[in-house]
Structure 1
Amino acid sequence: MSDSSFPDLVLPPDGRQSETARGIQRGALRYLAARGLVGVPEFCLASGRRADIAALDMRGEVWVVEIKSSVIDFRTDRKWTEYRLHCDRLFFAVGPDFPLDILPEDTGILVADPFGAGLVREAPRHPMAGATRKALTLRFARAAAGRLMALMDPEALRGIAL
């Protein structure tokens, strides 16, 4: 985190991702920011599943970005199909050497490295129901605010569920 208001805040390493996945995540987050979206990595959905990145634009549209660092990662992980219920657009973010032809045609594709990402295919829009959007937006706000608070004062959130 490089906000001059909080120069001492540094996000701790996640520990669940490979170096490749972290690079794709960083590039995808940079791409989202350049398009005016803000992203929360490792976002816990109401279903209990964890999206690699959930992002929100100024209008309230929600994107989920599923990171795939290898073909094996893609072929063994099918939980991403459940993410459609929790977003307006679903994307895969993959590295430059990933074979794009194996990704589902009804999802968007970002090709990313640690420095940025490029849009290969726009994700089709499938709008969420209003009640789902409201609940997800509230969950997003609490997750983002809670993470910032935890960085500023880890003791402050003791006993608070995010």
Structure 2
Amino acid sequence: MRLYIFLLFISLLACKPTSDEGAAVPEQIDDTTMNLSKSKIPLIKEAQKKALEWKSFQDLLTGLENYDHTASATSKMIDHVNDMLLNPEASFQDQAVFSRIKVLKTRLHIYKSYLGYRTKTPSQLEEKYNNIIRALEELIIQMNWKVNEFRQSNDKLLEDLKSELDPEEK
């Protein structure tokens, strides 16, 4: 009987929670003190009009404006990017645009993963966030090119071909 009481006492001591005084607590990083980039490249002309009609892209931009650097907010951003891939705006259906969206999605996944690390430095966090903004800017550049430059050059080429075929215009 004493043996059972002794074993019960030992098991209770073994299961006793330890104090957290000696445990290393990861320090909170204040994102307001970091040098986080903001997108400086705007959508222009026709690309801006078409992007306003693309709900997923607008949700992504709104999410970036209200971003609080948490894993849940990053997951929402990833959801917006996934929706951009699933429901693309007809004007932006181009492999180069899709590639840029996938790069943005990858950068968001990297950042979300990094937010879960126990030890992280402000400079590494800043670099990974700035990579997200860089990927967004490259996407915007591609969107501008697709709608404004590519379409205009094709329209100009089509006009030139029509004028060559129609001898009366000369």
Which is strand-richer, 1 or 2?
1
TM-score (norm 1): 0.26
Which is helix-richer, 1 or 2?
2
TM-score (norm 2): 0.25
Higher relative contact order (Cα pairs below 8 Å, separated by 6+ residues): 2
Q: Which has the larger radius of gyration?
A: 2
